[in-house]
Amino acid sequence: MVATRSVQTPAILLDLDILEHNIKNFHQMAEEGSKKLWPMLKTHKSTEIARMQLAHGAAGFLCGTLDECEIIYDKLVRGEKRELNIMYAYPVASYPNISRVVNLARACSSFCLRIDGYEQAVLLNQAAMDADVCINYAIIVNSGLNRFGVTPRELKALASGIASLRHLKFAGISTHAGHVYGEANSDGVAKVARQESETMKAAVNVLSNMGIAPQIISTGSTPTHQLIANDELVNCLHPGNYVFMDNIQIALGCAKEDDCALTVLTTVISAPRDGEYIIDAGSKCLGLDKGAHGNSNINGYGRVNGHGENMQISSLSEEVGIVNIHPACRGKLRLKVGDKLEIIPNHSCAAANNTSFYIATRNGAPEELISVDMRGNSTAKGIGFR
């Protein structure tokens, strides 16, 4: 337990020793597999943590918001005169967002965004033509998540259609096997990794038959990272959650409690009934996420560090939560008002997005504050204000 007497609760704690170990470990796997690492930023949304990833060999970033793209460019590319790849993960269709993409493409020659449809491409091409710029793009391939993307069979028609749009430049193909989070164990993770690999191989074969050699062949998720890192075809990986890990990764067999860098520190504030305690952390800290793609191994709204299945966070209101002691443990496991608990969130990305800073600790002691400077709508661009 962190020495937290002076830390107000609820608080988002970040163990620097674990964080640094996770970053080093995943980057080393990528390096050993001769893969470039462009981590997904949406997990931590922090320039300082991005710098840690760069120090361990990251060559770019996959961004979940245009805010993240712009801040990375402003602070790390322009501000520090670095050469970095910046990829935006999703298509854009609204005028303000298309304008932001055009501006990024003008400012950063290595900026790229992902698209999966001809209509999106036409909108982008018109804006790029009007601005006299060229936008790099990657086509999203559907490897089983069934969210964005085309199947390898559909790829030829889309690639051929977009090729006629002269202000768009093809950079490669990309996928995200996010359905891995619906699996129940390591065997399920391995199955999704095989699907991920086979789908990208089929997509590359389609392009090869068209005489097209993609520069970028990218994929990525934290659970499949170790398996895909040795794939002979993929050349770029985009894990995100690996920096923090969380209860979902534990449920998948991809992490243990000791691998989880981010926790929510909370205080027991009431003991209204036997075996039931109320804590001062609710959904605005922990989130209500039990896995976006459904995972039967997730029980409750987080994992009380060090107590496994003996405690369950059974419900959350916005600012408070209820912790229940397992009936078999109530005679020997008791809490009292004022006790502190550290909770591993089910989904650390969601918990991280609920704070403006992490309380970074080392060897159990608070050391510094790390700003979460990229979270949602942190810029007023595109909404008509000056």
Task: Return the axis-axis angle of helices 118-131 and 95-107, rounded to nearest 10°.
Answer: 60
Beta bridge partners of 344: 303
| Cα separation, 166 vs 270, whole angstroms | 65
pTM confidence score: 0.93
CATH 3.30.750.24 fits 257-371, yes or no: no
Tokens of 67: 């805010």
pLDDT tens, position by position, for the chain (386 residues)?
556 667 999 999 999 999 999 999 999 999 999 999 999 999 999 999 999 999 999 999 999 999 999 999 999 999 999 999 999 999 999 999 999 999 999 999 999 999 999 999 999 999 999 999 999 999 999 999 999 999 999 999 999 999 999 999 999 999 999 999 988 889 999 999 999 999 999 999 999 999 999 999 999 999 999 999 999 999 999 999 999 999 999 999 999 999 999 999 999 999 999 999 999 999 999 988 776 666 667 888 999 999 988 899 999 999 999 999 988 788 788 899 999 999 999 999 999 999 999 999 999 899 999 999 998 765 555 444 33
Give just the sign of the alpha carbon dihedral 317, 323, 326, 331. negative
Q: By the 8 A CB rule, do 337 and 271 touch?
A: yes
**Residue carrying the six token digits 């209860």:** 247
67 CB burial (10 A radius; 0-12, 13-18, 19+):
buried
For the packed helices 118-131 and 152-162, what is the interaxial angle rounded to 10 degrees? 30
What residue spans define the domains of the chain?
A: 16-244, 257-371
Residue found under tokens 């990986």:
237
pLDDT tens digit sequence for 105-163:
999 999 999 999 999 999 999 999 999 999 999 999 999 999 999 999 999 999 999 99
Handedness of CA 190, 196, 197, 198 (dihedral sign): positive
Q: Give the residue ranges of DSSP H helices in 13-76.
A: 16-32, 47-55, 66-72
User: Is residue 29 exposed (0-12), middle (13-18) or buried (19+ Cβ within 10 Å)?
Assistant: buried
Query: Do the domains at 16-244 and 257-371 have one common CATH topology?
Result: no
Domain 16-244 has CATH 3.20.20.10: yes
d(CA 278, CA 320): 7
Query: H or E stretch including 183?
Result: none
